[in-house]
């Protein structure tokens, strides 16, 4: 994630993907999940930033227990709202925006 102060009373966000992030269906699903996770937590963030979220494909790893509840039940390990929200929150905390 990259961020820069914009001097406005609100945040602006762009979600973009690394070159080899799967097909269009996978990119669009990841984009929707990331936007929804941001919408869910945007009231807790500091305002006045331009945010660029650069998404890379995850390496294949064993699924976590929480992913079994949502992502794997749909046949899509690693692509779930809870995981997206958790990763996005971690980025915001590290950047000092939350």
Q: For the chain, which residues score pLDDT lower than 50?
A: 67-75
For 14-42, what is each residue's pLDDT tens digit? 999 888 888 888 888 888 988 999 999 99
User: 10 Å Cβ neighbour count for 63?
Assistant: 13
Contact present, 44 and 98 (Cβ < 8 Å): yes
| Distance in Å from the first CA to the final CA of the chain | 14
pTM score: 0.72
- pLDDT of res. 72: 46
Q: Kindly give the interhelix angle for 24-41 and 81-95, rounded to the nearest 10 degrees.
A: 60
- pLDDT of res. 52: 92
- Contacts of 8 by beta carbon, 8 Å cutoff, 6+ apart: 47, 48
- Contacts of 77 by beta carbon, 8 Å cutoff, 6+ apart: 63, 67, 71
Please name the residue that has the structure tokens 């930033």.
Answer: 49
Q: Which domains does the chain have, with CATH numbers?
A: 2-95 (3.30.230.10)
């Amino acid at each position: 994630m990259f961020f820069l102060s914009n001097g406005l009373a609100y945040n602006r966000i762009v979600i973009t993907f690394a070159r080899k992030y799967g097909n269009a269906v996978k990119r669009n699903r990841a984009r929707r999940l990331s936007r929804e996770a941001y919408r869910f937590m945007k009231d807790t963030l500091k305002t006045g930033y331009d945010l660029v979220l650069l998404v890379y494909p995850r390496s294949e790893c064993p699924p976590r227990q929480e992913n079994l509840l949502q992502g794997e039940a749909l046949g899509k390990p690693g692509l779930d709202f809870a995981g997206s929200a958790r990763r996005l929150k971690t980025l915001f905390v590290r950047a000092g925006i939350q």
